[in-house]
Amino acid sequence: MKKTIPIPGEKQEIRKALEEAEKKFGKLPKQERRRIINQVHKKAVRRAKIIGMLAALGLTTAVAGTKMLNSGKDNTQIEQEESTAKQRHSEFVNIYKEEIETEQRTYVDEINDLETREEELAYLKKLYVEAMQHEMPYNNTTLDPNDIQITYNYEDYLYIDITTGDLFTHGDYPKVTREQLKNKYGIDVLGFGDNEIVYKVRNKDGKIIDCASFQNIDGDGKTKCKKVYVADDYTNTKSILTTMGTVVQSGISYYERFGDKVEKQIFIKAVGEWKESMKQEDMEKTQEDSGEREQ
């Protein structure tokens, strides 16, 4: 594994970020500590990139730091110090050139580089795990993209909770499922839809860990990805599929028609919109956290 060389000041930033997180949430699991460290490192690399751009434009003061006015040094000495600082920075940027180039790669590049349907499906699984880490950062469960399956099937109909609008698969024994919902959970349901497409994520043991369907049942004329409870398993866990917009829907469609330019663009657009929504959520959360600290 490639050893990561710390950027100047990065260790202090990591320590501060970990201390703030532990102060707010208590002892952090290893996975969350790793996520925070990686996040700080990426920001440091991005900052180095910006400094490098300024240096390339000739703004050497940004590299050398703030030039002291009336410092008592003659112009020759100042120029020598700035030249030395610029040279050291160039060496530093070269060390991180590979990481900076990786940082610059976008999801568009990643999707365009996919050469087979299998690679596209593996990429879709990776996005699902990325979504889980974003939505559930303190979840101790480590999910490997290779350990999950993402599929879909047609359900001849679904059950719908007439009070909340929650959706349920009817299972192998629809009458038993309906009676159990009523008698055990106090949920009144009705049959809903016809040949409904349901997307499912299974773990390595074959158990369904996520299930969702695109429906328009809120009366606002918009189709949304809604969680679907699996018959005989009504655990109220968060559905990651519902947070990804149309990523999985368009990803599977592109898998089935791999190489189709229109399907690829639809997939790229879906991934872009989802990533933008994650950035927006992170920004809003940061603002909320900042407001809490100021109070």
Give the model's confidence band at 62: pLDDT under 50 very low, under 70 low, under 90 confident, else very high: very low
Q: How far apart are CA 210 and CA 136, in angstroms?
A: 14
Task: Please tell me the pTM assigned to this model.
Answer: 0.65
Task: Check whether residue 165 and residue 188 sit in a common domain.
Answer: yes
Q: Residue 192 domain-assigned?
A: yes
Q: Residue 287 domain-assigned?
A: no
Task: Check whether residue 58 and residue 178 sit in a common domain.
Answer: no
Q: Residue 181 domain-assigned?
A: yes
pLDDT tops 80 at residue 50: no
In contact, 45 and 10? CB cutoff 8 Å: no
Q: What angle do CA 238, 221, 161 make, to 5 degrees?
A: 45
Task: Check whether residue 169 and residue 228 sit in a common domain.
Answer: yes
Using one digit for the tens of pLDDT, what is the confidence trace for 66-97? Answer: 344 444 556 676 667 667 666 666 665 565 55
Q: Residue 278 domain-assigned?
A: no
Q: What is the mean pLDDT of residues 121-128?
A: 96
Name the domain count of the chain.
Answer: 2
Using one digit for the tens of pLDDT, what is the confidence trace for 2-13? Answer: 444 556 677 888
Q: Residue 1 domain-assigned?
A: no
Task: Check whether residue 37 and residue 146 sit in a common domain.
Answer: no
Task: Check whether residue 53 and residue 117 sit in a common domain.
Answer: no
Task: Check whether residue 157 and residue 232 sit in a common domain.
Answer: yes
Residue 153 in tokens:
């099937």
Residue 277 makes CB contacts below 8 A (sequence gap 6+) with 245
Task: Check whether residue 80 and residue 132 sit in a common domain.
Answer: no
Q: Of 49, 69, 104, which residue constitutes the final position of a domain?
A: 104
CB atoms near residue 56 (< 10 Å): 11
Task: Check whether residue 116 and residue 250 sit in a common domain.
Answer: yes
Q: Which domain holds residue 182?
A: 110-254
Ramachandran class of 160: left when φ > 0, alpha when ψ lies in -120 to 50, beta otherwise = beta
Share of the chain above pLDDT 90, in %: 42
Query: Terminal CA-to-CA distance of the chain, rounded, Å?
Result: 44
Task: Check whether residue 140 and residue 233 sit in a common domain.
Answer: yes
The H-or-E segment that residue 51 falls in is helix 30-56
Q: Of 43, 75, 104, which residue constitutes the final position of a domain?
A: 104
Task: Check whether residue 119 and residue 229 sit in a common domain.
Answer: yes
Task: Check whether residue 161 and residue 75 sit in a common domain.
Answer: no
CB atoms near residue 243 (< 10 Å): 19
Using one digit for the tens of pLDDT, what is the confidence trace for 216-242? Answer: 766 667 788 999 999 877 877 889 999
Task: Check whether residue 182 and residue 246 sit in a common domain.
Answer: yes
Using one digit for the tens of pLDDT, what is the confidence trace for 158-213? Answer: 999 988 889 999 999 999 999 999 998 899 999 988 899 999 999 999 999 999 99
